[in-house]
Chains A and B, each alone.
Chain A
Amino acid sequence: MNIVESIRFVMPEIILLVSAIIILVSSLFIRNKNALGIFALSAIVAASLYLPQSHKTDTVLFFNMLTSDSFSLFFKEISLFVAGIVILLSMGYKELTEKYIGEYYFLLLNGTIAMMLAVSSNNLLMIYLSLEMISLISYLLVAFLKNNTLSSEAGLKYFLFGALSTGIMLYGISLIYGLFGTTDLSIISNAVNAGQINGLVLLLLLLMILAGLSFKCALVPFHMWTPDVYQGAPTAVTAFISVGPKAVGFAVLLRIFTNNFFPLYANWVGLMTLISIFTMTVGNIIAISQTNIKRMLAYSSIAQAGYMLIGLVVGTASGMEGILYYILAYVLMNLGAFGCVIIVSNSIKSDAIEDYAGLHKKDPITSFMLSIFLLSLVGVPPLAGFWGKFLVFTAAIQSKFILLAIAGVLNSVVAAYYYMRVIKYMYLEEPKMKDISPKSAPLQIAVAILMAGVLIAGLYLTPFLNWIRNSQSFLSQ
């Protein structure tokens, strides 16, 4: 489909872009965090309202650069949701000075655009570009507290790690181009179906693509940047990169592996199984001995990625369903957890788990919500997190990945320990902290929304499941 026809399909992105520029310009005059934030928020809302209109039927846009299908729609919605929540969190996040707030929102909105492009791109070129865009923006956001050494250190580390892994991916893409003479995924998948490709080359290609993507999803062995970056970054940004890029990474992973490369299932299933088990185990085991809650959540998010990967390994429709639902749940509960962390750190100026002692006395609501999110991360029914695990394990059992399932459940038992540790500090210890400062409205709104999400998605998940069912229509299999 040519450009002119395609435009209306990317209206949401355009809305975001325009409003981003408006914010940038207006920030020269207005430096009010909340005002700009609310404007950005309204832009997000507008975009998400427009989103369904923009997608009627599955089509390909911009000469097959983008594809507009229900799958991408699902992830676009997720991206917008994440962006909205993160904006709310940023509005309440004290560390973020008002000085460069305009630029901040500008970058955030651009990041959102990049995510929306990435999840819908149908061409390795587009994938590369949009991922790079996400990366660059996240580097900048991570280092956004320019006078904070930790922040800029995190930024640099993130950058170096990212640059290298995307470099590798790029090299892989170039080889793919060499193999198939094109970067258009749909053509490639036909070629793959035709078969006759050397095993070693394939392996190399898969690995090189994986390098870039597992950097985004923080899978072993590309996970090590996670704790440092999560700790150093402004917490609002941490929240963003812990869900946004991850979700996108998984989206791309799914699109490539379960759609285009699916004929090669036999080639990559073993690999993925390995990565999945390693990812969850490493994440969980290291998380046990963490003392900083942000680092702890970093490792936990590594582990969570491991669980999600089970769904991919299984490679069936139900596995797909599981992973999508898991991503949904993960977005809700992880954002929520970080939101609570922001609320707390706003008042006690610390991220050490010990400093959460007796939080229930000072701030019952927050500690209650945080416990809900943590329990959901543990996978206690009937919270959203449980159903994520449930569906994933269901898929695993269904296709006889018994060991994988057992590894998963054992891990979730181990995981319970460190999540409960935070709860223990909050409820079972006596408070050391002084009285907490009043909380900002946006933060509370955000966290409230997320908790409602966790509860609803846990108690009545039929609509969500139907939504997901529709979102994976394109799946061959």
Chain B
Amino acid sequence: MIPQSHFLLLGAALFSIGIFGVLTRRNAIGILMSIELILNAANINLITFSKFSDNPDGLGQIFALFVIAIAAASTVVGLCLVISIYRNSKTILINKINLMKW
């Protein structure tokens, strides 16, 4: 069968990609999407562990379930923030949002 570590590696890769995206995307929505990747990476871990763990109480899956829910909620919040910033300053490009510095 497929060893546990391969799943984890997949998760790790997703995680890193997500981080990369968060750091490089100029578009606020793009950043949100990258964050989704990170959450998914975590989910993969959780589910993997719940499969391979010795007490099959399904905690991992449930956790993942909650994470998905949280993801939904936070996406909602994030997007509404994006919209409001767009309404105020007609852009969602992170590199144009810099009224407050130093």
Contacts and interface: CB of A to CB of B under 8 A. Distances in A.
A129 B70 contact: yes
Nearest to B78: A159
B68 to A, nearest CB: 12
Interface in B16-53: 18-19, 22, 28, 31-32, 35, 38-39, 41-43, 45-46, 48-50, 53
Interface residues of B, number: 45
Contacts of B82: 156
Contact of B89 (A143, A146, A149, A171): A149
Contacts, number: 117
A232 B55 CA distance: 48
B100 A228 contact: yes
Nearest to A147: B88
A175 B60 CA distance: 11
B77 A159 contact: yes
Nearest to A164: B22
Given A171-B41, A177-B49, A152 B100 contact: no
A154 interface: yes
* Dominant SS among interface residues on chain B: helix
A153 B18 contact: no
A361 B19 CA distance: 53
B17 to A, nearest CB: 13
A150 B100 contact: yes
A147 B85 CA distance: 9
A155 B81 contact: yes
B63 A177 contact: yes
A183 interface: yes
A264 interface: no
Interface in A149-188: 149-150, 152-157, 159-160, 163-164, 167-168, 170-171, 173-175, 177-178, 181-183
A136 B77 contact: yes
Contacts of A125: 59, 63, 66
Nearest to A171: B42
A128 B45 CA distance: 16
A155 B80 CA distance: 10
Contacts of B67: 170
B78 A163 contact: yes
B2 interface: no
Given A156-B85, A170-B42, A183 B59 contact: yes
Contacts of A159: 74, 77-78, 81
A175 B45 contact: yes
Nearest to B77: A136
B84 A143 contact: yes
A154 B99 CA distance: 10
Contacts of A143: 81, 84
A103 interface: no
Interface residues of A, number: 39
A399 interface: no
Contacts of B88: 146-149, 152-153
A231 interface: yes
B101 interface: yes
- Most chain-B CB neighbours within 10 Å: which of A129, A140, A163? A163
Interface string A178-215: 10011100000000000000000000000000000000
Given A149-B88, A152-B84, A156-B81, A174 B46 contact: yes
B39 A167 contact: yes
Contact of B39 (A155, A170, A177, A228): A170
B15 A171 contact: yes
B97 interface: yes
A163 B39 CA distance: 10
A153 B97 contact: yes
B73 interface: yes
A148 B82 CA distance: 14
B18 A167 contact: yes
A250 interface: no
A354 interface: no
B81 A163 contact: no
29 contacts: A128-B66, A132-B73, A136-B77, A140-B77, A146-B87, A147-B88, A149-B88, A152-B87, A153-B85, A153-B88, A153-B97, A154-B100, A159-B74, A159-B81, A160-B31, A163-B32, A163-B74, A164-B22, A164-B35, A174-B11, A174-B46, A174-B49, A177-B46, A177-B49, A178-B48, A178-B53, A181-B49, A182-B59, A231-B100
Interface of B: 8, 11, 15, 18-19, 22, 28, 31-32, 35, 38-39, 41-43, 45-46, 48-50, 53-55, 59-60, 63, 66-67, 70, 73-74, 77-78, 81-82, 84-85, 87-89, 94, 97, 99-101
7 closest pairs, A vs B, by CB? A174-B45, A167-B38, A178-B49, A149-B88, A152-B84, A228-B100, A170-B42
Given A160-B35, A163-B35, 6 more contacts: A125-B63, A143-B84, A150-B99, A170-B38, A174-B49, A178-B49
Interface of A: 125, 128-129, 132, 136, 139-140, 143, 146-150, 152-157, 159-160, 163-164, 167-168, 170-171, 173-175, 177-178, 181-183, 227-228, 231-232
